[in-house]
Amino acid sequence: MSDQPTLAEINERREIATRKIREDTGIDQDMIKNVVHGFYAKVRDDAMLGPIFDAKITDWDHHLGRMCMFWSSVALASGSYDGRPMQKHMPLKIDRTHFDRWLELFAQTLSEQCETPAARHFMERALRIASSFEIGIAAHNGVILGKGERYDPVSSWEPK
């Protein structure tokens, strides 16, 4: 007899977790779509982030669909996203200022689209994602960040 859960047990646990998150936060697929579309509308109009996204994304409908799946997985533990977002971001020339702006626009979108429990739930995850990506991109560029440090390529190379 194996101690490993079956696929059916894993799916059942995921469904229970998703149901609890929905009950606690009010997040559903419609809210995720509104957040994703509202956020990326801001990003596309943003002087700092817009050009970075426009240089990489040619099919916005496809990207928005993927981001809805991503946020469904992140916010609802749905398991609907199977991509590797870190790899997509590694070659980008972005740093702490870009992540701060990304979070600022995301927070603005949440305040427009969500009640407090949902906004808090989304933002907690967005903060972890931004931190993880910033650490990963720094490491990709040869910079190992210490606890509490942020990735700033200019100051990272200055003598201490």
Q: Tell me how far apart the alpha carbons of residues 10 and 25 are, in angstroms, rounded to a whole number.
A: 22
* Structure token digits, residue 113: 């689209």
Helices (H), 46-152: 50-56, 60-76, 85-89, 96-113, 116-140
Burial of 23 per CB tally in 10 Å (0-12, 13-18, 19+)? exposed
Q: What string of DSSP letters covers 52-71?
A: HHHHH-S-HHHHHHHHHHHH
Is 140 annotated as ligand-binding? no
Q: Which residues are annotated as a binding site for heme?
A: 62
Q: Which residues are annotated as a binding site?
A: 62
